[in-house]
Structure 1
Amino acid sequence: MVRKLVIFLILLGVQASAWAQEGQVVRGEVVDAVTQAPLPGASVVVLNSDPQLGTITDENGKFRLWDIQPGRYNLLVSFIGYENYLFREVLVGSGKEIVLKAALQELTEQLEEVKIVARTSKEQPLNTMATISARQLSVEEANRYAGGYDDPARLAGSFAGVASEIGNNGIVVRGNSPRNLLWCMEGVEIANPTHFANVIAFGAGGITALSSHMLANSDFYTGAFPAEYGNALSGVFDVRLRNGNNETYEHAFKAGVTGLDFSSEGPLKKGGASYLFNYRYSTYALLGSLIPEEAGDIGYQDFSFKLNFPTKRMGNFTLWGIGALDDQERDPLEDQSEWETVQDKEGYALDLATGAIGLTHKVLFNQTTYLHTTLAASGNRIETVYDELDEGMDLQPKERVNNNTSKYTFTSTLNHKFGVHHANRTGVVVNRHHYNVDNRETVVLGEPLVVFADEEGDASSVQAYSQSMVNLSTQVKLNLGVHLHYFSLNDEVSVEPRVGLKWQFNPNQSLGFAYGLNSRIEMIGFYMARQQTDNGIIQPNKGLKMTKAHHWGLAYDINLNRNTRLKIEPYFQYLYDVPVVPDSYFSLQNLEMDWFFNETLVNDGTGTNLGVDFTLEHFLTNGFYYLATASLFDSRYKGGDGIERNSLYNKNYLLNLLAGKEWQLGKNDANTLSLNGRMTWMGGDRYTPLLVDESMASGELTYDYSRAYTKQEDPALVVSFSLSYRKNKPKHASIWSFHLLNALGNEEYRDYEFNLQNGRPEKQFDRIVVPNLSYKIEF
């Protein structure tokens, strides 16, 4: 009896101790990387834990670890016949469970246990068909890196081969226009998910409409991408949304200088269904003079969601969506003595909306085959009104833009694994486009607006692809595919081969090669441009062909040690069928922004991008990390006159250095202080010299287009940093953060404008310094 009482008291003490701990749940699933089939019996171990913590996956590939204290942990996942998988430096805190997914690569032949090297969760892209020029972007990085501003697009600017600006989040990949980037969400092409997209520059906006609360780890490509991606010339941003927590209700609220952010997730019913949504409302009114005066009053909001419905026999259904609303307005200055440039006497109002919604179904037929199908609708609306005060102080119409586009999409992909040596992915993408374009501008202030485009109609595009991954040996992998692209508006078909080869000649080093032919449809407004002739209205650009590009790339990748890797990627891109104006310097590849373009275009232009990218990365270890990237490149083009020139985006060199340090503070090291910095040094902006005397004589800006893009501003140095403190309480976590973008106040060249005070044309620059102090609570 005494012995039983002692045992009872010991157990009671152990249980009380467990209750006293404020541990967190870490759970997830382990699947085959190619088939997505669950792997039951896989081992999951928390490295360097004392006592050793670990578990194995159940029959559905699920695992669960209890009572994990706040901090960072490395988790090793292993399964017989598969490569080991390492989750590196997983941040565990109170307030939110940690849900992970490990996708394991099957070994082509069984190796001795001592030879099996763990592949870390961020070394390789999520897409197994990618060979080179691809990087996984983690949500944790998006929250941690300085200068990213919780914006995936801005974060991509720290990667090798990518240039970015302060005033917008356009992604310039290897000398290509931001317009040439493909945005995907849940495998479906969508419009640029950015607030104020195509207002600052085509393909760019102000800040992302994607909240980090919604994102799962995603892939970013800088060239020679797999055959499943079409309608892209420069790169691909394949954004994935995570599922909400299907067991526990969790919420987060954030308030900062730029606005409010609220998210919630949790189970919908028994059976694993879940919801996740995020809403943001923002205004830049509190930033005051830190924003350029001509920006006016800015406001935006966005909402995104994902509903997940797993079933026992019919597969998995998800309903997802994103929507963004933007408004911006500014009144002209009524005191003429305050007029310095034309912008001072202009007033404008902008009303923009973008969004996408999709229903996705994924079903695993067996352990080797799955079908992934999506029905989606997406759209974009841009309505702008510009007016200008005349000499009599009357407001005259100057510009009207009404650009409404929408698209209905059907995609379906069949993925089959024939065996350890061969897997195939074949699919189709069908788009039905609708457009309503009405763009007008005055030629002489006070006279009626001239119509540059006024068209409503429909068009279709169809893409089909098939790609195979072939393991030729334990060291050599071949990715081979083809992509077909058809556009009904010009009745053109593009056949695009893709190939990638990777040789892993030892566990720590590899060589890769990839080639791809790509094509891209231009913005609808360019096809609809109209001209008034003696014989009536004509539309000379309706038959424009798609712009195309060959892309070759090499890659050498070496793990210098367990925590550091070096990657070197030389590349060459040749663009052709580029729309240009005959006998002119002009090429559409250099056009940043112009809703009122109606020149006749022909597909006679070409372009080249030649360079080499370097990446040296030290993964977060013992609270410290760094990422150093450098790019040396030359971007050139030939316009309608056949003369080779620097392209607008030819900065020649880029250097990024990011680093950060974390300190564990408080009782049991439960809290985290984090300091992060980023320095970017890059070549200056290209511009065309101005003919000053001619401009002053005519009263209009007159450029020397024979020397287009020969001038270059001084090199730019941009420094940003962030500081955050996370405090973990039993039932919630609080995070104080301070971000400062462009701490040194670097100026960006905008253009020439007449100084109305002295009548001379002068260069205009923007200096944007953006501080953001915020408080966030997770509960």
Structure 2
Amino acid sequence: MLRSLLVLTLILISLAARSQEKVTLNGYVKDADNGEELIGVTVYIPQLKAGTVTNDYGFYALTVPKGTYTVQYSYVGYKIQDVTIELQQNVSRNINLPVEAELMQEVVIEEKPLNENVVAVQMSKNTININQVRKLPALFGEIDIIKNIQMLPGVVSAGEGSSAFFVRGGSADQNLILIDEAPVYDPSHLFGLFSVFNADVIKDSEIYKGGIPARFGGRLSSILDVRTKDGNNKHFEGSGGIGSMAARLAVEGPIVKDKASYIVSARRSYVDLFLKAANEDNLVHFYDVNAKINWKHNNSNRFFLAFYTGRDVFSFGNDFGFAWGNMTGTFRWNHLFNEKLFLNTSVIASNFDYKLELKDAINGFEWVSNLQELSVKNDLSYALGTRNELSFGYHLTGRRFSPGEISPTGSSSFFAPQKQQHMYALDHAFYISDLQRVTDRITLDYGVRLSIFQSVGKGDVYLYEDPQDNIKRERTDTLHYDAWETIKSYVNLEPRVGIRYMLKEGQSLKLSYNRMVQNTHLMSAGTVPVPFNTWNPSSYYLRPQVADQIAGGYFRNFMDNQIEFSAEVFYKDIKDVTDFADNAQLFFNKDLSTEYRQGKSWSYGSEWMVSKTRGKLTGMLSYTWSKVMRKIPGVNRGEAFPANHDRRNAINLQMAYDHNDKWTFGATFNYSTGRPFTLSSGKYEYGSYNPDVIVERNSYRLPDFHRLDLSATLNPRKNANRKWKGQWVFSVYNAYNRQNPFTIYTRTKKDDDGNIIGDGTEKEARMIYLFPFLPSVTYNFKF
């Protein structure tokens, strides 16, 4: 025993001595022109064949043996910096990277020295290059990263007129969409014609489809993480644009040079102004505002405050109207405890609300609903050495769900005031993960997240003999809970692991597994997303949804990393996926828990992508084959059925050609199998209730979807010597005028003149199309 203790002591002393011989290099990497911290910069020491990347805040830390090294800093579109640093003690070194070339603030990629997509352990992740997106066609000339995301492999669009997207078989509400760490519950403007993300203020955006890091949670299918610019801390500048339907303006500059800066942007559609001038009563518009300030107290303490608000307003004369909007706020504090330990603390607030109003003396009412949440997050990273990077943290989120409140608007309205009770929830999460370089060929990224969810009072829970039996679902009792009293708790462990194996130069195999848990549920039975959906927490009757996903892939680069190729396969299994009984009554139903149905869903598929990142011609070609099925007791007679976002085949092509320094041409093409939908076979009467008769869920499919968009961008050569630089973008949406189906509805059968055929009992299906051939012109500017 004594000998064992002596040996252990000697080992610990040896390890301590070795650790004392190591030092840490850390700092921030920034854009040399505007002072923006850069995310994902590669910091590499060739002598040691070791390196790291900057985190979400532009910070890096690398612990190495003492010595003098050449440190290489590289980032797509920026000049490589080789810096010789003597490391005999801990060193803090901030690096400013200059861009390779600049045109209208767009980076022209001249070289990409490292094959990050092959070397990185992370798979099923795509980084959206906003500068490349600017070269592609856009509806009404408005750049939209959501439309770009819908073209990625493994991502399926809900169709025209929607910003919703589905990832690897998950539903739209299973995507966590973040702007500066704050959740956005509806990312659409004008029913999906635009998204809430203004391209002028976007700094970085990434989507995770699998192998999701342990610091993320709360959704099953994907994470879309969008970061906005911090603001130019060197000099004042502005940018904006005037398009066919909307205009935008962004300004930024230093508050104190190199210490504090700001950025403010605003965007508004103006179709309603033209309609109003034409004495048109049906008006629609949207607006959004982004604002951010930051302050660098010193190299160890930085503070950020970001704000977003956006709203859509529809008004149909003096009779009917509705509106919805998101509002978020984020306060961040970056603190460096020492050369190895980095902390980010965030306080985040988010509000999503919607309103429906009918102005009528007898039938008039106003309906409002919202979801509010407040979060505190502590995320830490610790640089153990060249082979280990440790991350850990704790997140706490409180939410208040307000399903709906209705009030009469007319003096004689037959609507009585009605208010559904608020619901409250607390969400705790602890996580730890380690990025470990086992050998030069093998790298592991593994961790675990502990989710503790509490549904809390104040509130009432209704008891039933059998909540899912139409005869036995009358209330039998009521449980009353005081404020903050726990109604129901759920504890789930979420393991995550990823592995990368280097085959040889420029080739790798990757494998990942992750479990995700979702405690919020979107109450919607429709197949086309609309803003009037109700969010509910996991509760007495509603269990959390749990997804397990495994994915594998092969990654290879060609032609000196100019062409990137990837092929991935995946399988996802979801337990307790939420759906609703056929003909469920969702709105203003105080017994909504009797409509819940939970079952299972499974999806699998393969994804292929080839992208060219350099040269005059750049672009991406992707193909996805996938299948998405559901089986839920009480739905479709308990038999399996395809989910409404089951699209077996999807092909997407993006191309941009830099003809010269004046003209750039772009094209996108989309094809996908038609989505399933449900048609009723008839109706029946039960008192005043006339529900549809549903024989089989999603037994029909819409026609296949395909569309070609084209664009041409003109950068006048006179821009080079001017402070004011203008740019013209000419685009054509739906170039060959394809009539893609938006949705199908049933009506009483009529002839071509609108006359009812027969006795009026015969029904017919009618298809609605959106967006024919649409040309547009946009003028962008920078000063």
Q: Give me the TM-score of the superposition, normalised by structure 1.
A: 0.75
- Equivalent position SS for 2:160: coil
Task: Give the Cα separation in 1 of the matches to 2:165 and 2:573.
Answer: 19
Asked whether 1:359 is paired with 2:338, we answer no
Which residue is equivalent to 2:646?
650
**Distance in 1 (alpha carbons) for counterparts of 2:281 and 2:492:** 41
The one-letter code matched in structure 2 to 1:707 is E
Q: Which moved more, 1:168-177 or 1:550-559?
A: 168-177
Partner of 1:328: 314
Instruction: Answer whether contact 2:77 2:108 (CA < 8 A) is retained.
Output: no
The answer to whether the Cα contact below 8 Å between 1:173 and 1:234 also exists between their aligned partners in 2 is yes
C-alpha distance in structure 2 between counterparts of 1:132 and 1:258, whole Å: 38
Contact 1:439-1:454 at 8 Å conserved across structures: yes
Q: Secondary structure at the match of 1:232?
A: coil
Determine if the alignment matches structure 1 residue 135 to structure 2 residue 126.
yes
Cα offset for 1:232? 1.0
Q: Is residue 396 of structure 2 the alignment partner of residue 437 of structure 1?
A: no
Aligned to 2:629, which of 629, 636, 650? 636
Distance in structure 2 (CA, Å) of the matches to 1:732 and 1:462: 50
Change (3 A) 1:287 1:719: farther
Decide whether the 8 Å contact of 2:160 with 2:742 is kept in 1.
Answer: no
Q: Distance in 2 between matches of 1:458 and 1:681?
A: 43
Q: How far has the Cα of 1:38 moved from its partner?
A: 7.2
SS, match of residue 163 in structure 2: coil
SS where residue 213 of structure 1 aligns? Answer: helix
- Please say if 1:547 is aligned against 2:539: no
- 1:61 maps to what in 2? 94
Displacement after TM superposition at 1:606 (Å):
0.4
- Cα–Cα, structure 1 residues 171 and 45, in superposed 2: closer, same or farther, change >3 Å? closer
What are the residue-to-residue correspondences of 1:490-529 with 2, within 5 Å? 490-523=488-521
Give the equivalent residue in structure 2 for 1:598. Answer: 592
State yes or no: 1:681 paired with 2:671.
yes
Larger CA deviation: 226-235 vs 181-190: 181-190
Q: Which residue of 2 aligns with 1:768?
A: 771
| Distance change >3 Å, CA 304–CA 659, structure 1 → 2 | same
Structure 2 alignment gaps of length 5 or more: 1-31, 44-51, 63-68, 86-91, 456-487, 525-536, 757-762
Q: Structure 1 regions of 5+ residues with no counterpart?
A: 1-23, 66-74, 76-89, 103-116, 289-293, 333-346, 388-393, 527-538, 665-670
Q: Distance in 1 between matches of 2:77 and 2:314?
A: 53
CA RMSD of aligned residues (A): 3.8
**How many angstroms does 1:486 deviate by?**
2.3
Does the 8 Å CA contact 1:469/1:479 hold for their aligned counterparts?
yes
Q: Does 1:167 align with 2:161?
A: yes
| Closer/same/farther in 2, CA of residues 609 and 400 from structure 1, 3 Å limit | farther
Partner of 1:215: 202
1:42–1:468 Cα change, 3 Å: closer
Say if 2:701 is the partner of 1:721: no
- Asked if the contact 1:298–1:328 (Cα under 8 Å) also holds between the matched residues in 2, the reply is yes
Q: Which amino acid aligns with 1:152?
A: I
Percent of aligned pairs sharing the same letter:
17
Q: CA deviation at 1:403?
A: 1.0
Partner of 1:419: 385
How far apart, in 2, do the equivalents of 1:456 and 1:699 lie?
A: 30
Q: Which residue of 2 aligns with 1:225?
A: 212
Q: CA deviation at 1:268?
A: 0.7
Q: Write the letter of the residue equivalent to 1:280.
A: R
Seen in structure 2, the aligned counterparts of structure 1 residues 97 and 749 have a Cα distance that, compared at 3 Å, is: closer
Distance 1:449 1:180, change over 3 A: farther
Residue identity opposite 1:61 in structure 2: N
Q: Tell me, yes or no, if structure 1 residue 92 matches structure 2 residue 102.
A: yes
Tell whether the 8 Å contact from 2:521 to 2:578 is kept in structure 1 after alignment: no
Show CA shifts across 1:653-703 (max 9, x none). Answer: 111011121122xxxxxx4311111111101121113325x5899999865
Task: Check conservation: 1:438, 1:451, Cα contact below 8 A.
Answer: no
Question: What secondary structure, in the 3-state scheme, does the structure 1 residue paired with 2:134 have?
Answer: helix
2:24 is equivalent to residue 37 of structure 1 = no
Contact 2:181 2:348 in 1 (8 A): no
TM-score, normalised relative to structure 2: 0.75
- After TM superposition, give the deviation of residue 777 of structure 1 in Å: 1.4
Residues 525-549 of structure 1 deviation map (CA, whole Å, 9 limit, x = unaligned): 68xxxxxxxxxxxx99653111111
* Aligned position for 2:572: 573
Structure 2 residue matching 1:228: 3-state secondary structure: coil
Letter in 1 for 2:731: H
Distance 1:513 1:506, change over 3 A: same
Distance 2:415 2:672 in 1: 41
Aligned ranges for residues 113-152 of structure 1 at < 5 Å? 118-119=113-114, 123=117, 131-147=122-138, 149-152=142-145
Q: Do the aligned partners of 1:613 and 1:629 also contact (CA within 8 Å) in 2?
A: yes
The answer to whether the Cα contact below 8 Å between 2:578 and 2:596 also exists between their aligned partners in 1 is yes
Query: Aligned pair 1:376/2:348, yes or no?
Result: yes
Q: Which amino acid aligns with 1:683?
A: T
Q: Please say if residues 26 and 97 of structure 1, whose CA atoms lie closer than 8 Å, have aligned partners that are also in contact.
A: no
Please point out which of 654, 657, 661 is paired with 1:661.
657
- Relative to structure 1, the CA distance from residue 634 to residue 45 in structure 2 (aligned partners, 3 Å threshold; closer, same or farther) is closer
Structure 1 residues 615, 451: CA separation in 2 closer, same or farther (over 3 Å shift)? farther
- Asked if the contact 2:237/2:782 (under 8 Å) is kept, the reply is yes
Kindly provide the CA deviation profile for residues 611-657 of structure 1, in whole angstroms up to 9, marking residues without a partner as x. 11111111131x11121111101110012243111111111111101
Aligned equivalents of 1:679 and 1:450: distance in 2?
51
* Cα 1:673/1:44, change in 2 over 3 Å: farther
Query: Which whole-Å deviations, capped at 9, do the CAs of 1:283-338 have from their partners, x for residues lacking one?
Result: 335898xxxxx994211111102212112254111111111122111139xxxxxx
1:602 deviates by 4.9
Q: Closer, same or farther in 2 for the Cα pair 1:450/1:687, shift >3 Å?
A: farther
